């Protein structure tokens, strides 16, 4: 097992168009944060299989080439991980500063399967996860949805950082709920905008949070949300996050802060025993790369 404690950006490579976008997104994130990039392909190796993993290694080499085109100076490692894809990615996410993965064509599904890898990884990963789409991102602002609680701070931090490195504006959306006060949120947005130089707008709206965020996301280049609003517990996603993963037009960054050990399940990387379906309401080889030791 690789015991290095150095934070890194991890990306799951599958060879799909959305996976290619994930590699590109992860390369930009690694470059902006001055962190190494780790490309991983997780697969189940069957004992009676007649082939070899050469195709998977070739896929990783092609992904490394794509990453180098984005950021030539990156420190890149590649890894073939044997086992169930979700289990392997969850293990890799334990030491990741950020994990990036393609969406598995969630937009094309009428009902969103809860055991889809992108859904499970965002719900149960150890840290923040970005889920990318197959198509190029729109040239719009970064969109972030926040409440007025302290849980909004890491979500805002990520959104401001993303907007600064993309050189795009930031739209901060807060949906009013009973008893809400926005003074603290005003100050959080204003102080970060001043420090980062990002053109940030705070939009306070009434309505159902899921519907409001879906409408505001149409022109966004990136959608940033918390894992579960005011209750960011490990293993759960809120309705807003689920709907944006399923129907959002842009890549979605799901931000979760550090999870206390007392809240972590004993076997967070266990494979789901049964397939559960959720129908969300529709609102209106390159130079410088190397192979790592398998986990």
CA distance 82 to 69: 28
In the prediction, which pLDDT does 158 show? 96
Top-confidence residue, 45 or 275: 45
Mean pLDDT lowest for which of 77-86, 95-104, 170-179? 170-179
Mean pLDDT across 246-255 = 91
Residue 235 — very low, low, confident or very high, per pLDDT cuts 50/70/90? low
- Determine the pLDDT at residue 212: 94
Domains and CATH numbers, the chain: 8-102 (3.40.50.620), 142-278 (3.40.50.12370)
Instruction: State mean pLDDT over 38-64.
Output: 82
The pLDDT of residue 95 is above 50: yes
226-230: average pLDDT:
67
pLDDT band at 85 (very low <50, low <70, confident <90, very high): very high
Highest mean pLDDT of the ranges 140-154, 157-171, 178-192, 242-256 = 157-171
Q: What is the pLDDT of residue 43?
A: 86
- What integer pLDDT is reported at residue 192 of this predicted model? 96
Please count the CA atoms within 13 angstroms of the CA of 143 that sit on its side-chain side. 27
pLDDT band at 99 (very low <50, low <70, confident <90, very high): very high
Which residues, 6 or more positions from 214, have their beta carbon under 8 angstroms from its beta carbon? 243, 244, 247, 248, 283, 284
CA 24 to CA 236: how far, in whole Å? 27
253-285 per-position pLDDT tens digit: 999 864 333 333 344 444 333 333 334 333 444
Q: How many CB atoms lie within 10 A of CB 138?
A: 14
Pairing outcome for strands 96-102 and 170-175: unpaired
What is the pLDDT, as a whole number, of residue 150? 76
Could you tell me what percent of the chain has a pLDDT over 70? 76
Percentage of the residues of the chain whose pLDDT score is greater than 90: 55
Q: What is the pLDDT of residues 114-164, one digit of tens each?
A: 778 988 999 999 999 999 999 887 789 999 999 877 778 999 999 999 999
Query: Residue 75: how many CA atoms within 13 Å on its side-chain side?
Result: 9
């Amino acid at each position: 097992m690789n015991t290095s404690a150095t934070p890194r950006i991890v990306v799951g490579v599958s060879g799909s168009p959305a996976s290619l976008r994930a590699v590109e997104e992860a390369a930009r994130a690694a470059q902006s944060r001055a962190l190494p990039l780790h490309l991983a392909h997780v697969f189940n190796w069957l004992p009676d299989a007649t082939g070899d993993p050469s195709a998977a290694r070739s896929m990783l080499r092609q992904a490394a080439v794509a990453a180098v085109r984005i950021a030539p100076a990156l420190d890149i490692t590649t890894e073939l991980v044997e086992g169930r894809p979700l289990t392997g990615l969850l293990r890799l996410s334990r030491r990741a500063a950020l994990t990036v993965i393609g969406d598995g064509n969630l937009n094309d599904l009428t009902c969103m399967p809860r055991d889809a890898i992108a859904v499970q990884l965002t719900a149960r990963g150890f840290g923040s996860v970005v889920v990318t789409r197959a198509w190029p991102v729109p040239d719009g602002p970064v969109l972030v949805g926040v409440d007025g609680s302290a849980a909004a701070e890491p979500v805002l931090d990520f959104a401001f950082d993303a907007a600064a490195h993309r050189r795009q504006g930031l739209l901060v959306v807060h949906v009013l709920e009973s008893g809400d006060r926005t003074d603290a949120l005003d100050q959080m947005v204003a102080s970060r905008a001043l420090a980062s130089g990002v053109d940030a707008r705070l939009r306070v709206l009434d309505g159902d949070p899921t519907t409001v965020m879906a409408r505001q996301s149409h022109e966004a280049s990136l959608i940033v949300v918390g894992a579960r609003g005011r209750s960011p517990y490990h293993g759960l996603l809120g309705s807003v996050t689920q709907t944006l993963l399923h129907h959002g037009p842009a890549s979605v960054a799901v931000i979760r802060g550090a999870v206390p050990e007392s809240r972590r399940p004993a076997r967070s990387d266990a494979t789901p025993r049964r397939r559960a379906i959720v129908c969300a309401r529709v609102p209106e080889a390159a130079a410088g790369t190397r192979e790592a030791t398998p986990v």
